[in-house]
Structure 1
Amino acid sequence: MKRSIGVALALLLGAVVVVAVVLGNRNGEGAGGGPVAVRGVIGSEKKPFFDDPLVRAAFAKHGLRVEVDTAGSRQIATEVKLDGYAFAFPSSLPAAEKIRKDRGVATVFSPFYSPMAIATFQPIADLLTGAGLVRDSGRGYQVFDVAKYLDLAAKGTRWDKLPGNTAYPARKRVLLTTTDVRTSNSAAMYLAITSYVANGEDVVNNTGQVTKVARSVAPIFLDQGYSQASSEAPFDDYLVMGSGKTPMVMIYEAQYLSRVFAGDGSIKPGMRLLYPSPTVLSKHTLVPLTADGSKVGQLLTEDPELRNLAARYGFRTADPAAFNGLVAKHGAPAARDLVDVVEPPTYEHLEGLISNIDRLYASGAVPQQESPRGVR
């Protein structure tokens, strides 16, 4: 009898343990009772956000420990082996759409976005204003005219040849610094902007336009020489080395504003933020590859705490209150309502533009640049 009672108790205790484990897993806990580890691959510009202890704690409240690896958005879409990842989080919708189609994913999340912008310095902005490239928007921010810039770049104009230039007489071409267009999304978004202007102010939408436009805008990439692979590197150069190394660099608005909001002193009084006209919005789009990855995307999109933390890193979300509050608090030079915003080409056509430029890199050829506007 005692032996029967002992067996019954053992079975009962075993059942309790099983129920506890099941309930723990349903609440997002791992087998050891802690948060479930969820690994994703992201664009490098989002790593400071995911590394923030407050962000980690916010995910932990929902039973998740989110870990990330970084890669260029184009690499995520074409080269990174996504098996074993719970989510892919490139920095643009075209790359995310490529992943979504390849993996057969029904739903994606775009929890935040960032307009493309230009980080520069006051003397450079003044020079470009005198040259007709920069103007005041009348809405509290400055605008960089992409069409006029392409005309200037097509002539091979050097800084020391700009009329009245005594502030920055550098003997190099007037070129925006970008990342490597073959690997990085920020450069691909710059390509989306310039290709729109070069295509007669229209989105590139067929293979004939791809070939012509790529050849037209290729020099503004190839003439830069060496370009770094990730968006953090040239922005760090801008912050640390000044205008001698990087007079103006294409960035995500969030990179600049996150430093302003942090008040860490890295944005110095002479630094300036410009908005290209036209610009594009880099929509950071999460593609879930597992149920836990979907939970990460849902939390980033809907959780008020995570949305507020995203705003601290300069990202714009569906709820603008936190972002606008930070802009007002810090007197940040952010555009509240951008009007001149265009769409990037589809993934296939953007990839075609990049592939054409890649072939020119490989051949060592730099096509003679003509005024790129109106190419059809």
Structure 2
Amino acid sequence: MAVDAAREEKALREVTNRLVNDYGEAHTQERVEAVVGAVRGRFTGHKVREFVPILVERIARRELAQPGAKTEAVTVVLDKSPSIPLGDNSNSDGRNLQDILGKVTADKKLVGAVAAGVVVVLGVTVALSVRQPDSAPAAGAPAAALTVVHGVVGSEKSDFFADSKVADVFKKHGLRVDVDPAGSRQIATSVDLSHYDFAFPSSSSAAERIQRQRGVSGKYTPFSSPMAVATFKPIADLLTAAGIVTPGPAPAFDVQKYLELAEQGTQWDQLAGNTSYPVSKNVLVSTTDPRTSNSAAMYVAVTAYVANDNTIVRGTKAEDYAVSRISRLFTRQGYTESSSDAPFKEYLANGMGPIPMAWIYEAQYVDAAVHDQLKPDMVLMYPKPTVLSQHTVVPLDDKGDSVGKLLATDPDLQRLAAEHGFRPQDPSLFTKVTAEHHAPVIPDLVNVVDPPDYDTLEHLLDDVARSYSN
């Protein structure tokens, strides 16, 4: 419990720092801290803590963005656990959480899982939802009847679905799409998908697991994003001197040389000539948690390939050898987030102090460039080799199928996906966006490897997860 409490305290400090940075012009630091403290107090006494920092940040952002407005929220009840009052949802147009949780409490096995924290998402997904309000109808015109479609999506796609222009496109087709964000591996392993019309994880492997479990054959891959490393110019210069980075408009990050350096336990202050980042901690790329997040699973796929003599991992012997070389890349990091959204926001907000290198989706960096969130010393590096993350829609019913089909075929949604940094099916859309916003990307990636097959990747992830307790 002490470790969990320390992690929560660290996460909440980071939440406060981000909010002070984002809302410093509108609110004093004391005001931000007071809002965070008040929101946090609503969760006092509840046993399920994993998503508390995420919930606190989202609710606090609403209050800081709209001073004086009533916070949209719900009351979460998990069987006999204490209630968490999150406000008044009497005006909410979302699903009734009590109806959802009524089904949960009828299933004793699921209640046990919730109590154990295995499917925490059930208790919080409605509070985490990205809800799109309908536009007001013209005066005298009847309100259009929209079909509401519920989905659970990788957290890096939250901003895409929160975009009012995306909502308007769906509305043209008679749909309102409400989504809940989660880590992609959580979507495939612990989220109760019975409440959703579609799942939209960030990789084909997570999608395949969902298809197997749900007996679904159909899928759509509307866009993709290669994995990359976000860093800062002083760090890139240090790694260039160490022979790990090849400079250029989009620097290349040599995974083989990085792995060798990490295996030696090299620390930043041991790098020759290091005066810009003389810190006594291991030279490591910061990732998310491989037990919950697809971006970390892609990191496993790339590093395991390199560790296995630049060969796709196949068979138990190769799996064991690869894990013996890459597990320390995770276990030496300390606390890691469950999904990719939070660490990238910390990278944007807090500089190279806490996160000198972050493993990200290229789309996150491009999206930040489009929205003028990058600072002059920020650098995007491409791992050599990298891997392509195929964002895959798994429809769970006919409504979900209609969303997947639109995402893959509607020209406006494809264009908007490019504006959020994703590589849609038409490469020219992505090239146009990156050229307009001077995003330092490689349009045509060559050094891309395939991840291992579904079962092998699952074995690798399970073995890396076990290494945390060894």
- Runs of 4+ aligned structure 1 residues displaced above 4 Å come to none
Answer yes or no: is the 8 Å Cα contact 1:215–1:356 preserved in 2.
Answer: no
Distance in 1 between residues matched to 2:385 and 2:260, nearest whole Å: 15
Amino acid at match of 2:281: K
**What residue in structure 1 maps to residue 287 of structure 2?**
178
Identity across aligned pairs (percent)? 54
Answer yes or no: is the 8 Å Cα contact 1:42–1:73 preserved in 2.
Answer: yes
Amino acid at match of 2:182: A
1:167 is displaced (CA, Å) by 1.1
Q: Is it true that 1:38 corresponds to 2:149 in the alignment?
A: yes
- Residue aligned with 1:113, SS: strand
Distance in 2 between residues matched to 1:73 and 1:204, nearest whole Å: 22
Distance in 1 between residues matched to 2:179 and 2:434, nearest whole Å: 28
**What residue in structure 1 maps to residue 224 of structure 2?**
113
**What residue in structure 2 maps to residue 64 of structure 1?**
175
Answer yes or no: is the 8 Å Cα contact 2:221–2:393 preserved in 1.
Answer: yes
Distance in 2 between residues matched to 1:45 and 1:76, nearest whole Å: 13
**What residue in structure 2 maps to residue 239 of structure 1?**
348
Q: Of 277, 280, 288, which aligns to 2:387?
A: 280
Q: Of 406, 412, 431, which aligns to 1:299?
A: 406
**What residue in structure 1 maps to residue 416 of structure 2?**
309
Amino acid at match of 1:161: Q
**What residue in structure 2 maps to residue 227 of structure 1?**
336
**What residue in structure 1 maps to residue 23 of structure 2?**
none
1:241 is displaced (CA, Å) by 1.1
Distance in 1 between residues matched to 2:341 and 2:385, nearest whole Å: 23
Amino acid at match of 2:175: L
Distance in 1 between residues matched to 2:398 and 2:199, nearest whole Å: 13
**What residue in structure 1 maps to residue 16 of structure 2?**
none
Amino acid at match of 1:186: S
Distance in 2 between residues matched to 1:331 and 1:164, nearest whole Å: 31
Deviates more, 1:349-358 or 1:107-116: 349-358
Distance in 1 between residues matched to 2:359 and 2:422, nearest whole Å: 16
**What residue in structure 2 maps to residue 202 of structure 1?**
311
Distance in 2 between residues matched to 1:345 and 1:256, nearest whole Å: 26
Amino acid at match of 1:228: E
- Residue aligned with 1:200, SS: coil
**What residue in structure 1 maps to residue 434 of structure 2?**
327
Q: Deviations over 1:82-124 (max 9, x none)?
A: 1131101000000101111222222210000000000000000
1:33 is displaced (CA, Å) by 4.6
Q: Deviations over 1:16-60 (max 9, x none)?
A: xxxxxxxxxxxxxxxx85110000111000011001111011100
Q: Of 277, 287, 294, which aligns to 1:168?
A: 277
1:211 is displaced (CA, Å) by 2.1
Distance in 1 between residues matched to 2:284 and 2:217, nearest whole Å: 41
Q: Is it true that 1:337 corresponds to 2:444 in the alignment?
A: yes
**What residue in structure 1 maps to residue 185 of structure 2?**
74
Answer yes or no: is the 8 Å Cα contact 1:315–1:323 preserved in 2.
Answer: yes
Distance in 1 between residues matched to 2:338 and 2:196, nearest whole Å: 22
**What residue in structure 1 maps to residue 112 of structure 2?**
none
Distance in 1 between residues matched to 2:203 and 2:440, nearest whole Å: 24
Q: Deviations over 1:118-174 (max 9, x none)?
A: 00000000000000000036xx42100000000000111111110111111111110
Look at both structures and tell me which one has the larger radius of gyration over its CA atoms.
Answer: 1
Gaps of 5+ in 1: 1-31, 366-376
Distance in 2 between residues matched to 1:187 and 1:173, nearest whole Å: 18
Q: Is it true that 1:104 corresponds to 2:215 in the alignment?
A: yes
Amino acid at match of 2:153: I
Answer yes or no: is the 8 Å Cα contact 1:262–1:312 preserved in 2.
Answer: no
Q: Deviations over 1:207-234 (max 9, x none)?
A: 2222221122100000001111110111
Answer yes or no: is the 8 Å Cα contact 2:293–2:338 preserved in 1.
Answer: yes
- Residue aligned with 1:193, SS: helix
RMSD: 1.1
Distance in 2 between residues matched to 1:297 and 1:232, nearest whole Å: 22
Q: Is it true that 1:258 corresponds to 2:386 in the alignment?
A: no
**What residue in structure 2 maps to residue 155 of structure 1?**
264
Q: Which structure is richer in relative contact order (CA contacts within 8 A, separation 6 or more)?
A: 1
Amino acid at match of 1:105: V
Answer yes or no: is the 8 Å Cα contact 2:219–2:392 preserved in 1.
Answer: yes
1:76 is displaced (CA, Å) by 1.0
Amino acid at match of 2:340: S
**What residue in structure 1 maps to residue 296 of structure 2?**
187
Gaps of 5+ in 2: 1-142
Answer yes or no: is the 8 Å Cα contact 2:184–2:339 preserved in 1.
Answer: no
